A and B are shown apart, each in its own frame.
Chain A
């Protein structure tokens, strides 16, 4: 019996891993933002040090970030090529979380079949096939670290768990600022335990003390200058006001239903309800606290929706396993007990129909959410044919592509931290694609020292234009490339 579950789990892992690999290799490229991380990893490969000073992004800028993910990926490239690693490792790390989901669910439900179902829920959560496919991000490492810590917290009595946990907490802190979620979650855990009149174990209290101080200390060490410049607003990453609604669209029930799945959400909420109002269990309270922490940061717009939903999907899947267990225990006490198995099968089938099947559609679409062949060709042309110190105007989404493929300075990209007057810059860049008046356009191009304009289909879609009107003046602008993407050389300067 034990073996059977193990094989099911391994099979599930292989299915998910291979599916993800299949979709990942459907497209040779990564999402545009991934190239930001790729540059950092390549910098570590070349110089052994993180790239804290970037001569290309925004013309030249300074970064502050926890570098462990970049080092982790750079280390992986010692055994496989970077091109392969960026496709395989995120998928592998995500797929390995299936074991984590199973183990965590087992800690709570003490039932292997329900834990397998919990792992299944997580394996096919729609959001995990939209966001992480072909997307290189520190979340790939932060998520398994985060949930490994949660898992170890549920088994804190074992000494080895504690040592591993301390190492993992430290690793998480230097991987991604989402370590802050852990602090909020642990604090909520203490509050919920207090409300339930339950005692916090001494060991747990000690770990919580340590985690809180370590996380804050590390965050202030890493982001000292960011906090000094942006104050508490640093949590919104200096994102321009017009983009805030896009980056932090707020949490609605329908979005959660769609991205996390109906079954994990309803069963997860059901388990939470039973835990709060009927029978409180420490492990469940921990899961609930973490879920509340994520819901809270999403509600307060401290975290991007897709990232928050990834965290939520794991927790709700685990909670859903317990929900199913509670449901089964209840049904067993009723006259419907003989139908128990059938209802469970029905729920799983409903999950397959409502989540697993759409997952493949989502994954296919997500896999192609990468730069087009035309864009890459044009960027390679830029790299070969423009002066090394040239500045290229492109859309916000193409900013990292300019620096990675074109190896040239951009005017704007999606990392806004520490950029002064970013609001103005963002508006100016948008206006430069829609302007009609040449004189004003030339003034702005001069302001940002732009030498070339990169006009792709993406720019057309983003700004709702078919052409840039002011570039028609051949005295000031020269079309130097035209192959589905147009590149214009700026010849005029304000004296």
Chain B
């Protein structure tokens, strides 16, 4: 086994990395869907385009709201100068994700981790849903995780404050991942009893970088969303940015197995569990904790492999089930990524909206906001960043009233008042509207003020004309 991994390990990892990255993209291409999945990708692309045109940005013109500087958008804007197509920017995510995986492998080698264990940990990381998400979408997470793992690699190579610098840069994208990374690094320092000074200086460097960023309209925004319900952080229960259930299970197994390895190790385990619990509230910190959980999961699998089993057949069966479980989570998430919005029909329906010369907003669920803004070129009434609006509560109330109203007159009045000219539905939106006892669907079909612009497999665009 050891010999096999030493000879073929890197090859297998490369193959795994390529397959998991390409599979969802290939499926999307074959289905005729836009190559890049996920609404977040289209927000990043739209902002990058605006930065490319204006060279700097402090206000989102389309959505009429202040813009908080994000280093990632500037990187994308620079790349847009050389990229003939927006979809090609996906190469950045793919390259960064590949590099992250191999930096992780390299870091483990630097820490003199057993070659087989390093291989397992990297394989578990590659199979994690977060790797698939980061690789197949145009997301700032790819840069964050790359910079953090690069920092760890440099830190493992040589203790120096400069090794923390790449991680400190992530503060200009989102601060919580950097802070959780420092917490993990401090735990590592506690375990090895060295490097405290460097981590401390790295923290200061992060603050300095953040302060410099503030002169460019940067604000450190900590977004805490989610909760202890697994649906928020476990992909097998429906989360998009989260852990695989089996990674969590294996990590828990590893902690139990290695519990008796001394007080210091116990403290490390306890602190890591606390960080994982914290990460249920913060999507960005899941990037760091996913790597930690993969290390633990790798340790559990390695333990099962190395353990002298009384019944060898049980070892083989257990390892087979574990491998199948990890593969299951990956394949399940891959198929979700392949089916993510937008699909070809979304584009067709939104194209009809883009053709109409009107400045009015498009009403849909907030989850569709970024896609509407990018493809229709019109403002979305609500999107996933609408909390920034000073009158967000009012907008949300109006939104609820519009979708639940059963009176055509009231609906028309509200639409006019909120300057909404278009309505866009996809099957998910219809489900959401129906769950809220929406009368909007009924009003649309029975009022002459609404014109159906397009309808493609449950994706409908409507134009509202006030007569």
Contacts and interface: CB of A to CB of B under 8 A. Distances in A.
Contacts of B115: none
Contact of B230 (A206, A207, A213, A231): A231
Interface in A174-212: 202-203, 206-207, 209-210, 212
A280 interface: no
Contacts of A220: 236, 245-246, 325, 328-329
B390 interface: no
B236 A213 contact: no
Contact of A228 (B236, B322, B431): B236
Which of A212, A232, A420 gathers most chain B CB within 10 Å?
A232
A221 B314 contact: no
Interface in A260-282: none
Contact of B314 (A166, A217, A424): A166
A227 interface: yes
Contacts of A232: 229-231, 237
Contacts of B26: none
A240 to B, nearest CB: 14
Interface in B215-247: 229-231, 236-238, 245-246
A214 interface: yes
Interface string B434-461: 1101000000000000000000000000
Contact of A213 (B229, B309, B318): B318
B416 to A, nearest CB: 29
Question: Binding site of A, secondary structure by majority: helix, strand, loop or mixed?
Answer: helix
Contacts of B245: 216, 220
B332 interface: yes
A162 B317 CA distance: 13
B111 to A, nearest CB: 27
A421 B434 contact: yes
B322 A213 contact: yes
B249 interface: yes
Interface in A223-276: 224, 227-229, 231-232
A220 B329 CA distance: 9
Contacts of B30: none
Given A162-B311, A220-B328, A227 B237 contact: yes
A304 B9 CA distance: 49
B317 A210 contact: yes
A206 B324 CA distance: 18
A451 to B, nearest CB: 22
A217 B237 contact: no
A220 B238 CA distance: 12
B212 interface: no
B310 A216 contact: no
B321 A214 contact: yes
Contacts of B318: 206, 209-210, 213
A212 B324 CA distance: 14
Contacts of B249: 212-213, 216
Interface in B269-290: none
B304 interface: yes
Given A207-B314, A210-B314, A229 B238 contact: yes
A229 B239 CA distance: 10
A166 B230 CA distance: 30
Contacts of B309: 202, 206
Contacts of B322: 213
B315 interface: yes
B314 A227 contact: no
A424 B431 CA distance: 13
B325 A213 contact: yes
A217 B317 contact: no
B321 A210 contact: yes
A29 B253 CA distance: 48
Interface string B399-436: 00000000000000000000000000000000100110
Contacts of B246: 216-217, 220
B332 to A, nearest CB: 6
B230 to A, nearest CB: 5
A140 B434 CA distance: 39
A209 B319 CA distance: 10
Nearest to A206: B314
Given A214-B321, A232-B229, A206 B238 contact: no
A206 B311 contact: yes
Contacts of B315: 206
B307 to A, nearest CB: 8
A222 to B, nearest CB: 11
B237 A231 contact: yes
Contacts of B310: 202-203, 206
B442 to A, nearest CB: 11
Interface in A278-325: none
Contacts of A227: 236-238
Interface in A82-119: none
Given A203-B310, A220-B245, A228-B237, A213 B321 contact: yes
Contacts of A212: 249
Nearest to B318: A210
Given A210-B321, A213-B321, A217-B325, A421 B435 contact: yes
B325 A216 contact: yes
Interface in A316-361: none
A245 to B, nearest CB: 22
Contacts of A229: 238
Given A206-B309, A209-B304, A166 B328 contact: no
Contacts of A162: 311, 314
A210 B309 CA distance: 12
Most buried by B among A162, A209, A214, A229: A209
Given A214-B321, A232-B229, A221 B328 contact: yes
Interface in B49-69: none
Contacts of A202: 309-310
B231 A231 contact: yes
Interface string B185-226: 000000000000000000000000000000000000000000
B254 to A, nearest CB: 12
A54 to B, nearest CB: 20
A439 to B, nearest CB: 14
Contacts of B324: 217
A342 B369 CA distance: 80
B238 A231 contact: yes
Interface of B: 229-231, 236-238, 245-246, 249, 253, 304, 309-311, 313-315, 317-318, 321-322, 324-325, 328-329, 332, 336, 431, 434-435, 437
15 contacts: A202-B310, A206-B311, A206-B314, A206-B315, A209-B318, A210-B317, A210-B321, A213-B249, A213-B322, A216-B245, A217-B328, A220-B245, A220-B325, A228-B236, A420-B434
Given A210-B318, A216-B249, A220-B329, 12 more contacts: A202-B309, A202-B310, A206-B309, A207-B314, A210-B317, A213-B322, A216-B246, A224-B328, A227-B238, A231-B238, A232-B229, A232-B231
Nearest 5 A/B pairs, CB to CB:
A231-B231, A213-B321, A217-B325, A206-B314, A231-B237
